[in-house]
A = this chain, B = another copy of it.
Amino acid sequence: MIEDDDRIRMSLGLALEDEGYTVRAVATAEEGMASQRQEPADTVLVDLMLPGIDGFECIRQLRRDGDVPIIVVSARDDTHDVVAALEAGADDYVIKPVAVKELSARLRALRRRARPVAVAPQIMVFNGLEIRPQAGEVLLHGNQLSLTRTEFRLLCELAEHAGLVLSRQQLLERVWEYDYGDERLVDVHIGRLRQKIEDNSATPQRLLTVRGLGYKLQR
């Protein structure tokens, strides 16, 4: 939910949570778009009158980034606004003050229609190494490898940030979901992963150690 009025944001958020929704609420379009990029929501509720980037522009940008369902929740009841918002890419438009039951019903109706998502990076390729997160497959020079779950998740994590160094701590958090723990554990699994994805040359070609910092997957 992108809504700059604190009172409305709070009360509407709580009301929707009562209806069984999980709500993430922010006050500006900038925050909303960042949040959506970070961790996409199923549906976006957006006000039109926002400080900074306004609702219309926000809708256009959200629409450009993906096809998340968007409902405008606005106090403006002018037909021009409705038309403009829908043209910008919104899916529905309700006028404040809004009955939560109605909003909830419209959310359900919209989600019935929404495409069964289609997020997910399809395939990533790095110098002979092909990763298909969806299919749970990794191919090296076209041959399918059999990775363990941990190896697979570790590789995906590195691949998603290919070229960037990830610290052992970051990897522990993201792959193992440990907040603390022995960082050497990462080393062991990197080693095992290397045996499978490197071509037996003396020095690693793909999965590089950055001494003192962590590991990275070569682009």
Contacts and interface: CB of A to CB of B under 8 A. Distances in A.
Instruction: Tell me which of A105, A136, A164, A214 has the highest count of chain B C-beta atoms within 10 A of its own C-beta.
Output: A136
A131 to B, nearest CB: 13
Nearest to A92: B92
Interface in A137-190: 148-150, 152, 163-165
Interface in A91-128: 91-93, 99, 101-102, 104-106, 108-110, 112-115
A149 B164 CA distance: 15
A103 to B, nearest CB: 10
A136 B102 contact: no
Contact of A165 (B105, B134, B210, B214): B134
A90 B113 contact: no
A135 B86 contact: no
A190 to B, nearest CB: 15
Copies in the complex: 2
A23 interface: no
Contact of A105 (B82, B101, B163): B82
A99 B77 CA distance: 12
Contacts of A69: 113
A79 interface: yes
Interface residues of A, number: 39
Interface in A176-219: 210-214, 216
Contacts of A211: 148-149
A75 interface: no
A82 B150 CA distance: 46
A150 to B, nearest CB: 8
Contacts of A90: 109
A41 interface: no
Contacts of A101: 79, 83
B102 A79 contact: yes
A31 interface: no
Given A135-B164, A148-B212, A105 B83 contact: yes
Contacts of A150: 212
